[in-house]
Amino acid sequence: MVANTAPIFTDIPNIAFVNGITAANTAKDGTGTVSTIFTAGADGAFVQKLKIRPRGTNVATVLRVFLNNGGTNATATNNILYEEVGLPATTNTEIAAIVGLDLPLGIALPAGWTIFVTLGTLVAGGYAVTAVGGDY
């Protein structure tokens, strides 16, 4: 039997996160200050979703999701704005959950490609963002 050289299912979990994103980046081309959330392995990867959770009191903002071809994000042509989602203002509380959201991606990435995120405005409490996926 011949080995499967083009798998459609991931067999190596790849879950990555950034905890405490607060800085603003208004660039829509992926340059500037970014938070790398996920890097595909040597055979590529599949990313199911991002879990976005507020870490306290924040003003309303937008989370932008960029794909990067493995090059420096300082070169705009290495990046593409893939998705963006509005995040509502949140208030810190010890008696109720602060609602986050799941952002479905369902994207296969080539080897070495990365996903990074930015926020449109400066926030106080910050956000924890987790990528859920796996390497081929």
CATH topology of domain 12-135: Jelly Rolls (2.60.120)
- At 115, the pLDDT band (50, 70, 90 cuts) reads very high
The overall pTM is greater than 0.85? yes
Contact (Cβ atoms closer than 8 angstroms) between residue 50 and residue 129: yes
Statement: residue 122 has pLDDT above 70: yes
- The residue-averaged pLDDT of 101-119 equals 96
- Please state, for a pLDDT cut of 70, what percent of the chain lies above it: 92
Contact (Cβ atoms closer than 8 angstroms) between residue 96 and residue 1: no
Q: How far is it, in rounded angstroms, from Cα 95 to Cα 104?
A: 28
Mean pLDDT estimate for the chain: 92
- At 21, the pLDDT band (50, 70, 90 cuts) reads very high
> What tens digit of pLDDT does each residue of 34-90 get?
999 999 999 999 999 999 999 999 999 999 999 999 999 999 999 999 999 999 999
Predicted local distance difference test score (pLDDT) of residue 112: 96
CA 136 to chain centre: 19
